[in-house]
Structure 1
């Protein structure tokens, strides 16, 4: 009996703990970090992956690869055999084809991924959900082995998933659906699991800032550019130091991003080899042979070592590529030669795009602050690339420096930063790093029909007579919560009040409000072609109209009036919305938010 009482006490003592899990779901590799209440300084990165060949299983990353087998079985990550039919790059399928640049849409890897999904009759959300299920189960097992089953069972979970800053908002809703299908949000004794999102560059910046904390060469007004180079996307975010103790920064100019990550360098190298081998020889190779060749000669050979210096690489042409005559007349494998210029031709199209974005950030910062940023900081898996570092260093002028960490630091920055972000928002972080404000990448607002004002409204506006209000109104005018380029406080919350009128005969109502966005600056004053629908906010609860207060119009007609507020909160590069009625926030289960892909 005493033992049972101790067990209950132990459970109660841990019931308020929170385990924070940061997931960097990447195009080529995925990474996960975690911590628990008040233990940010003891953050751990998940390793010990299941591996088919027991190679690289203790890396701080796992390949974002999935293979469907027979009888519903599937393998993932390092456990996928090299010769298995597999799907890669499926993260990029989360967004609609029209939102991908033309060169990405035409990519052989994207086409192969789409074909794989068609063959197996799967949607992108189903494939992502299956990969996340494998990843999640592995992580929970490792976390349990690290901190113990009791703490895991009686702690709340806060999951933070990172997303590219350049992705449309609907991708977040799709990722939430995938996480739910994966079982990550299932009911637990400790309470509802919280799922939030943070942009990849902000997460990377938070990890970088924590590493820079306490440096004596950082002073107020210094600025620096964080370049997050991932597998698929490259995002850039720039900060200015507000104060050094504690280290507090604000985003100083609007960030940038593009689909120009490492996968496009890899694909360019495949195309180079195809030309060097000739199409005939290349097509004779099996998928497994090509995979091994690229893995050995490129991924673990030329790619990480290349700095731009003059040299030549000799690559064997496999026996299977040769015809019978060649096989009988040769006693050694023939080779193809790759020069430094060949390899530069593989890297440069992507590096040039990255440099163009960095250059834009530097120019904008200098125009605003009258001085250059102090550091250009490379993070992310591709951020470890030696040639990228040397290329940027050669193009910089003035006192600016490029910083590039070695080891696992750059490629774990995003998952570690996700944990730091959630820890700070929960008041659990022991790190003294703060982001005071961000800059909005778009304008967000709703439509309103205000009273017609001849001085304010234009001929393009639609003028109509409202029977309810007994006045002329201007249809579909924009009321912006937030405008592109504006500073957003980390805890920035904006509310807008709305009225809806219902006639006496109506019994119930189920309100709905549309949210719009625009990337044009300044945003339009009316809903035109530059204004796109972001989402619809729908109340799942039906409201008794007869219970609402009444309002009488100038003709004496009595109408019921519903007053409510919509609150917009900005956090981690994304926006969230909530509905308030009678001063109370409506529970998420009572409000449905449907995102649109325009």
Structure 2
């Protein structure tokens, strides 16, 4: 067990770090140290996921609120064109089929850099900041890297390529691979909530309750609503307090940034366009007045957290003078006059530097996201393995929204809803717990059907005529046959092989057997080019000696947060562990 566990929660909108020493964890698993971030009126234990990179494109200038403010200053002086500023870039890794190792990110001013560099520089900042703070806690000596174990959080709905991308970015940031664990965000939050006493949790219903009061056999759904993604998993409590997953992780891109997007589109509509219909006032405002643009959305961030289901008072936003002036210049009318030509004429009013918005309009910013979330949870609770759950646990920054809380409680009124205090920090604090005790999660459910391609001898009774080919030794083989390793929905016991197959060399001089891994989301394909089946990665199994028929037992271990391949040569007993390379 490491002396110190350090966790980095790299979020779409906000990121942060936390750590705890071994003795602190043993006395109180929920106790950890974290940084207080501040920007304007916002103060929290996480800062905005924004990074400013120097004009050399290689070194980091600042991160978080500091990056926002510095870039705004540069833009105000028209000196920003050579800098690289990126924000909310994590969602670039949310892709069904994979991520390229050399993927490129485009910054706010159109300048581009390799995505891996942007991620690694950001992680390095968070790593170095944490190390400095942790060492300040110890008088006389610093914590050595050998005494630290790092945990990096990722959404559970991410694919294998995205997880590998984050691992490699962390290693580029100076975190040793054997001192790094990838944690799934809703699992981390679940572990944190399991340790919370009753008085630290809120609830819906007549009685106080928390997950710590749940005994073996109890089931609950974890709704992790973050800035970018909404991650949902279902857990059952086992004897000893360990957890097993009952249904594969699911969710979608329905997080808090959807509300920001809706507000932006609202602002686009009320401010309008210029003579050239392609020129949106908001785009020009963002380009020429970045500091004011950031302030506008910081103000919205504060106001949106207070928008609730009750009350009919208008929501007031402060409008930057530069935006009001730009509307007048481009539209030749005031903002209030522009609003009167939109569908918001009776619900929105601009007076002086204030924009007063009817509650109905303000709540409407949340509609699409909340509808997606509630509909998905409804569908999930109809699945046999998810029926009769005892509670819904809401975590993640978006779960702190009174509107989302109300929607979940109203829609699922017969189910207890548990919302921990500071729900937005549950993942971060839970990641520290997971680093200290990863064995708390005993099993997971496979999201995909995994398989590899094999080339058995051709059998006309079993194989398609079009798959038959003669290999270089003159043997008629069926090429591209899908060999199932794990099926979607299978229970995967953590640390144990879910599949064991023996593979043989087919050529005399073969030194390795290259194996591709394919996935399908539902049914088991017959061939690797069937619809819905695609290649996600590859690995090479080493073999000794020479000659055909040399055998290797390959064990696929899919139950961890990352996949592991254990290869045992049958002739020598040599065991090798491999990682599937999922990045193209």
The TM-score with structure 1 as length reference comes to 0.78
Partner of 2:62: 75
> Structure 1: how far apart are the matches of 2:393 and 2:37?
33
Partner of 1:225: 221
Offset at 1:60?
Answer: 1.8
- Deviation track 1:468-516 (CA, whole Å, cap 9, x = no partner) reads 6x8654333222221100111122313322111333xx4x724422122
> Structure 2: how far apart are the matches of 1:268 and 1:580?
54
Offset at 1:563?
Answer: 2.3
Question: Is 1:514 the counterpart of 2:519 in the alignment?
Answer: no
Matches within 5 A, 1:147-186: 147=138, 150=141, 152-153=143-144, 155-185=146-176
- Deviation track 1:99-134 (CA, whole Å, cap 9, x = no partner) reads 79xxxxxxxxxx9x6244851x41111111111111
Matches within 5 A, 1:64-463: 64-70=49-55, 72=59, 74-82=61-69, 83-84=72-73, 86-95=85-94, 114-116=106-108, 119=111, 121-147=112-138, 150=141, 152-153=143-144, 155-185=146-176, 193-211=178-196, 218-243=214-239, 246-279=240-273, 282=282, 283=284, 286-296=289-299, 298-320=300-322, 321-322=324-325, 323=328, 333=352, 335-364=354-383, 367-368=384-385, 371-397=387-413, 399-406=414-421, 408=422, 410-425=423-438, 434-453=440-459, 457-459=462-464, 462-463=467-468
Partner of 1:481: 485
On the 8 A contact 2:68/2:294 being kept in 1, the answer is: no
Partner of 1:9: none
On the 8 A contact 1:19/1:155 being kept in 2, the answer is: no
> Structure 2: how far apart are the matches of 1:117 and 1:495?
51
Is the alpha carbon distance of 1:575 and 1:21 closer, same or farther for their aligned partners in structure 2, counting shifts above 3 Å?
Answer: same
> Structure 2: how far apart are the matches of 1:73 and 1:175?
18
- Deviation track 1:525-545 (CA, whole Å, cap 9, x = no partner) reads 332333211211136x7x664
Unaligned runs of 5+ in 1: 1-15, 101-110, 186-191, 428-433, 549-558
Partner of 1:585: 575
- The number of residues matched between the two structures is 521
Offset at 1:225?
Answer: 0.9
Offset at 1:375?
Answer: 1.1
Unaligned runs of 5+ in 2: 74-79, 199-209, 275-280, 335-350
Partner of 1:25: 10
Offset at 1:195?
Answer: 1.9
| Alignment root-mean-square deviation, CA | 3.4
- Deviation track 1:150-192 (CA, whole Å, cap 9, x = no partner) reads 461274332221211222211122212211221222xxxxxx7
Is the alpha carbon distance of 1:421 and 1:401 closer, same or farther for their aligned partners in structure 2, counting shifts above 3 Å?
Answer: same
Is the alpha carbon distance of 1:149 and 1:381 closer, same or farther for their aligned partners in structure 2, counting shifts above 3 Å?
Answer: farther
Offset at 1:234?
Answer: 0.4
Is the alpha carbon distance of 1:62 and 1:336 closer, same or farther for their aligned partners in structure 2, counting shifts above 3 Å?
Answer: closer
> Structure 2: how far apart are the matches of 1:461 and 1:209?
55
Offset at 1:62?
Answer: 1.9
> Structure 1: how far apart are the matches of 2:140 and 2:533?
50
Is the alpha carbon distance of 1:316 and 1:592 closer, same or farther for their aligned partners in structure 2, counting shifts above 3 Å?
Answer: closer
Is the alpha carbon distance of 1:27 and 1:149 closer, same or farther for their aligned partners in structure 2, counting shifts above 3 Å?
Answer: farther
SS at match of 1:372: coil
> Structure 1: how far apart are the matches of 2:385 and 2:96?
36
Offset at 1:386?
Answer: 0.7
